[in-house]
Structure 1
Amino acid sequence: MIRRVMPLLVLLLAGCAAEPGEPAAPPVPPPTSVFPSVSAQPSPGIKATEEQLRRADPCLLVDWTILTAYGSLERVETPIEFTDCEATVYRPAGTSLTVSLGFGLAFGEGADLRPVERDGVTVQVGELGQYGCGRGVAVAERAVVSIHARDDRHPGDLCAIADRVLDAALPKLIAGDVPPSALPDESLANVDACALLRPEEVFRLRGIDRTRVTPGFDGQNCTWGEPEVSETNVFINFGPALPLEADSTGDRETEIGGLRAVVHPQPGGSNPQYRTPPGCEARIEYRRLDRPGQVAEIEEISIQVTADEDEKYRCDLVTDLAEAAVRRLP
């Protein structure tokens, strides 16, 4: 399988070349890629590699039936991106336990994670507030495996559950036996989100920080501008989703580049912690996912523009960006 090149190189090349058949234009200086750093050095004792994680299916790294010790295993799914897996368990007491295992550039949640030794491997451990517990292993400088267990009504055994999932994953990581994904070459799992747009296209958005672009692990998402939800930015994400529906006020069904799409205005909002400016999202149905016996799903491209601008400006721009992105799909 041909894998993507690093986003920074793609962006540098994009800033210097015109599309075939398009007139040359003065180059727009590309932004600087921002890579989150991990909080620990790669752990010794791990044979698994960053490239293996980039080709892997996180749902295959453990046998999720181990969670039946805590209740009824309802589902195991890829919830948002192909680099994440989530299991849901209904407990006898009526609560819902969620356990996630994902691959990323950094550990993310759990700033208070601390290193401990486990089976000759350095593992990061810590609680995620009152109702969560986290575990992590650094495979490479920018490739980590993170495990989170959550239950907002039954917090007592969450660290024991996270440890049980970690113990199931560690032998494969130690041996370098990471099951590869069965997704085909044409899947969005093999596309770099940062490579779908050019700086001159994104920088049409008034007020965006032109110095920053933040790629997600394995190119499954990309944020142009400040990555905070309270800032002006453009965000692209790939992942599985239910078939598209125009189910919100103001939604518009359309086609973008010959693909079925829904354009969804977002009103924004605020709470005491942060404010989210209004936005507009283009959701594009890329291909059907063939998963026999499971709920029908699609591979979806989501492009969002967030800015304190009127709705027409936001949605016109996100539609233009989506059309440009679809043109560059493999």
Structure 2
Amino acid sequence: MKNVIVMKEPAQSTECERRMALSADNDTIVSVTAKRGEKGRASLCDIADTATEIAAEKLGAGELEKYPRSLPQDSLANEDACALLSLDALGEFVPGVDAANPYVGYGNWTCKWSSTTGDLRVNLHFDQGRQPDSTDGAPTRLNGYRAFVERWADDERACLTQVVYRSYPDRYGRTKAETLQLLVDGSFPMDRLCRVSIELARSATAQLRGAA
């Protein structure tokens, strides 16, 4: 662990992030993010700190084994989150957005943009897990993809659009899904936050290569 530098990002209401860098190679960053997927009161930063401690021990112990499995050809993981939203699309809905300098997450599976003139933020990321349904928000369709729109958990300042990219059976035969998630937060009325979330998700899904 002595070779690993841990950086603590400011806590947010919907997530808590820790970033790790190898002291010998500061261009390599590993992120650990705890997110609130359901309503609850657990401390996200306590969870992130525990996971970071375990990961830092692994990183500091030496070279990691390579992941042996290749990704399916139709996996959302083959897409680039940052490439799905154009400068024009971001500029239309996010005033003063710094579109050319997003925060890029691991594997280009997460991309975050912020306004330079206000507190509006956009977080586009890919996820894997339970298949969303009508309990996850108001159903709609975006470019043929099923999507669900909801106020994010207990946060009055965020709106989430979940887009089902593809469904697949896991190793136990349960139905899982890869999803594109577009979270918008800021001090705007909820109807505006959700409109921005939906329209940016619509723009992003138009760039996806997989069939809906």
Given the two structures, how large is their TM-score scaled by the length of structure 1? 0.45
Given candidates 305, 309, 318, the residue that maps to 2:197 is: 318
1:210 equivalenced with 2:88 (yes/no) = no
Q: Which residue identity lines up with residue 150 of structure 2 in the other structure?
A: H
Matched, 1:222 2:111: yes
d(CA) in 2 for partners of 1:136, 1:266: 27
Partner residue of 1:193 out of 78, 81, 89: 81
The alpha carbon displacement at 1:163 in A equals: 8.8
How far the C-alpha of 1:185 sits from its partner, in A, is: 2.3
The gaps in structure 2 that reach 5 residues or longer are 8-17, 34-42, 44-49
Percent identical:
22
Deviations 1:198-249 (A, max 9, x none): 111112235454364111121110001169xx9311110101021112226x
1:99-248 matches, cutoff 5 A:
116=2, 122-123=3-4, 138=22, 140-144=25-29, 162=54, 166=58, 170=61, 172-173=63-64, 177-210=65-98, 212-225=101-114, 231-247=119-135
- For this pair of structures, how many residues does the alignment match? 180
Change (3 A) 1:123 1:304: closer
Q: 1:318 to 1:182 in 2, by over 3 A?
A: same
Within 1, Cα distance between the matches of 2:97 and 2:201?
A: 20
Uncovered stretches (5+) of structure 1, i.e. residues with no partner:
1-114, 117-121, 127-133, 153-157, 270-276
Q: CA deviation at 1:296?
A: 2.5
Partner secondary structure for residue 203 of structure 1: helix
Contact 1:221 1:238 in 2 (8 A): yes
**Change over 3 Å in CA distance of 1:204–1:268 after alignment to 2:** farther
Partner of 1:258: 144
**For the aligned residues, what is the CA RMSD?**
3.8
Find the aligned partners of 1:194 and 1:253 in 2 and give their Cα distance.
Answer: 25
- AA partner of residue 58 (structure 2): L
| Greater Cα radius of gyration, structure 1 or 2 | 1
In 1, Cα distance between equivalents of 2:197 and 2:83: 16
